[in-house]
Amino acid sequence: MAERPEDLNLPNAVITRIIKEALPDGVNISKEARSAISRAASVFVLYATSCANNFAMKGKRKTLNASDVLSAMEEMEFQRFITPLKEALEAYRREQKGKKEASEQKKKDKDKKTDSEEQDKSRDEDNDEDEERLEEEEQNEDEEVDN
Amino acid sequence: MAAVAAGSGTPREEEGSSGEAAAPQPQASTSAPGPRLSRLPLARVKALVKADPDVTLAGQEAIFILARAAELFVETIAKDAYCCAQQGKRKTLQRRDLDNAIEAVDEFAFLEGTLD
């Protein structure tokens, strides 16, 4: 049996949980129905990917981006997904930004530490200049955060 | 907790059975991010995306939105299939309910012939 893309299934446990939370309490789902929904979800992703890829190619891009997927949703007549997806995307971007800033901050703190160790060995005048520079850098960081 | 993050209208606080919703705020500062933005593992979604021979690269955001869209899709099709089951006064969703939903709803036309 050849491996079809549809065989790339999403985890059953997660699919079941999503189904159960979508339905009222006390409603069950048969095994066949659940596995059919799981396959349908995989087909959905493949179809959406293909649609999104068309938009990317139209834009002469080789990388699928978020707006390509949103355009695909509209093309597939799933407009009702677009608003919740946009909200999710914003939340995701905020989270990613927070993570990035946290790791960048750690990196900068590390660099500052090593820099200050070297400066202690040099003259005091140099220290004052460096301190001014550090303050400027901090201001720049604030500007980035506001953006 | 996920009041802002979860776009779906189902209030999780009502369900006492689901273990994850027990704590009001999952402030797991160790490894997992605070709000659970998508339940489907992004790695599996990425594998599906890569299965398409025409796709060169996909950005992280694209994968994430696809995962979230797939979740919304599962919710939607489950609810539509349930309408059919309800009409038959059954409390268990059967395969035929799904088939009926696919036939009845235009947006699901792309699924015809793919689930057999």
Predicted local confidence at residue B13, as pLDDT: 44
DSSP state string for B11-53: -GGG-SS-SGGGSSS----SSS-SS---SS-HHHHHHHHHTST
Inter-chain CB proximity A27 and B40 less than 8 Å: no
The type of residue at A58 is: K
- ipTM of this complex: 0.71
Chain mean pLDDT for chain B? 78
Predicted local confidence at residue A45, as pLDDT: 96
- Residue of A3, A9, A29 to mutate, testing the B interface (most B Cβ within 10 Å of its Cβ): A29
- Residues spanned by the domain of B93: 42-111
In a domain, B57, yes or no: yes
User: Which residues of chain B have a pLDDT value below 50?
Assistant: 2-3, 5-34
Distance from the B7 Cα atom to the nearest Cα atom in chain A, whole angstroms = 5
Length of chain B: 116
Place of tokens 């997904």: A81
Q: Looking at the complex, does the CB of residue A78 fall below 8 Å from at least one CB of chain B?
A: yes
**Count: domains in chain B:** 1
In a domain, B55, yes or no: yes
B20: tokens are: 């994850």
- Interhelix angle A31-58/B42-50, rounded to 10 degrees, is 60
Domain boundaries, chain A: 1-77, 93-146
Predicted local confidence at residue A121, as pLDDT: 58
HSE at residue B45, side-chain half, CA atoms within 13 A, is 26
In a domain, B59, yes or no: yes
Inter-chain CB proximity B114 and A45 less than 8 Å: no
pTM, whole model, 2 decimals? 0.71
Inter-chain CB proximity A14 and B18 less than 8 Å: no
Chain mean pLDDT for chain A? 82
What percent of chain A stands above pLDDT 90? Answer: 62
Report d(CA A129, CA A127) in Å as an integer.
Answer: 5
Predicted local confidence at residue B35, as pLDDT: 53
Q: Determine the residue of chain B that is closest to A69 in CA distance.
A: B62
Q: Looking at the complex, does the CB of residue A28 fall below 8 Å from at least one CB of chain B?
A: yes
Per-residue pLDDT reduced to its tens digit, A81-116:
999 999 999 999 999 999 999 999 999 888 887 777
Predicted local confidence at residue A123, as pLDDT: 52
The pLDDT of residue A63 is above 70: yes
Which one of 3.40.50.150, 1.10.20.10, 3.30.565.10, 1.10.3720.10 gives the CATH number of domain A1-77? 1.10.20.10
